[in-house]
Amino acid sequence: MHVLGLGNDMIDIRRIQASLDRFGERFIRRVYTDIEIAKSERRAARAASYAKRFAAKEACAKALGTGLRHGVFWRDMGVVNLATGQPTMALTGGAAARLAAMTPAGHVAQISLTITDDDPWAQAIVLITATPEALMPAGVGA
């Protein structure tokens, strides 16, 4: 296994609450995927849920080595859950293209994500690794 990128981000939940209060739907639709919106809107701690996902996007952009530039946009990175409930990132657009470009030939990239919150803070850590296709279990990967 090869480490391709590591990113970490921490955000004050009150900052996200302020953006929700000030910009509402415009902020939500600019930053979050439909899956993230549906999940966060069901939460009692709505701002904390959005904050964790915001931190995950920032951490993922750092792990990709681009930040939010070079064709990588907020909605290109979305927090999703595996069947086990474990969170990970689903990438589209420029983020998916960057991941493909940084993944060595004959390898499968995997994004590991941990997110947490403890009011007033939300934090995310993203680790991107690549495993040779030959070492992947049947049915996993590309």
pLDDT, tens digit (0-9, with 9 covering 90-100), for 27-66: 999 999 999 999 999 999 999 999 999 999 999 999 999 8
Which of helix, strand or coil describes residue 130?
Answer: strand
**68 pLDDT tier (thresholds 50, 70, 90):** confident
Mean pLDDT, range 106-123, rounded to an integer: 97
Inter-residue long-range contacts of 81-88, CB under 8 Å, 24+ positions, other chains counted: 87/56, 87/113, 87/114, 87/115, 88/112, 88/113
**142 pLDDT tier (thresholds 50, 70, 90):** very low
Tell me, what CATH number does 43's domain have?
Answer: 3.90.470.20
Q: Would the annotation count 41 as a binding residue? A: no
Q: Is residue 141 part of a domain?
A: no
In one-letter notation, the amino acid at residue 90 is A
Q: Is residue 142 part of a domain?
A: no
Mean pLDDT, range 74-96, rounded to an integer: 96
Whether pLDDT at 140 is above 80: no
Find, among 76, 54, 72, 28, the residue nearest to 123 by Cα: 54
Strands 121-132 and 2-12 turn out to be: antiparallel
The domain total for the chain is 1
Q: Would the annotation count 12 as a binding residue? A: no
Beta bridge partners of 7: 126
For residue 63, the enclosing domain spans 2-135
Residue at token pair 């639709």: 29
Q: Is residue 140 part of a domain?
A: no
Residue 126 CA neighbour count, 13 Å, CB half? 32
